[in-house]
Amino acid sequence: MSEMRVIKKYPNRRLYDTQISSYITLNDIKDLVMSYTDFKVVDAKTNEDLTRCTLMQIIAEEETNGHPIMTSEILKEFVRFYGDSMQAMMSRFLEHSIKLFMERRAGLKSPLNTILGANPVSLMQNIAEQNMDSWKAKSTTVEEKESSTTQASHY
């Protein structure tokens, strides 16, 4: 396994790739993501991890150029989840959904599916339905636990 690539971010917002000893751009970091290269972005002075912040910058740029993935309504809902008691659950749900999508993505792109006539829309609908079933099952389990705890405290 290759060593974690370290990108240093300086106060002037420049990014320095310590592996190649050169300044790079956000687009270069996007290329690292696309090539599945392990990296982290750290503040050059404090060593604070800035990876998430940097990835959010890339997402913001991508969302303003071309064809966005997230609609304004989705973004509004994301904003509403911050500070909400369901924030952690939403985070896990999104991560689970994206992992499931990534597992199925290979099936969506497979040449065999083209030959056999698999319908990508149908596959996407199945993924969405599985996500909802999983979400409902987890929600029911949480509600049952809360209900049994509440009933037990009344006795």
Q: Domain range holding 42? A: 5-64
pLDDT beyond 90 at 147: no
Residue 77 and residue 80: Cα distance in Å, rounded? 5
Q: What is the pLDDT of residue 103?
A: 84
pLDDT beyond 60 at 51: yes
* The domain boundary residue, chosen from 16, 42, 64: 64
Sheet arrangement for strand 39-43: 22-24, 15-17, 5-9, 39-43
Residues 77 and 141 in one domain: yes
pLDDT beyond 60 at 69: yes
Residues 95 and 150 in one domain: yes
pTM, full prediction = 0.67
pLDDT beyond 80 at 79: yes
Query: What's the residue count for the chain?
Result: 155
> For the chain, how many structural domains are there in total?
2
Q: What is the pLDDT of residue 7?
A: 98
Q: What is the pLDDT of residue 35?
A: 94
Residues 129 and 86 in one domain: yes
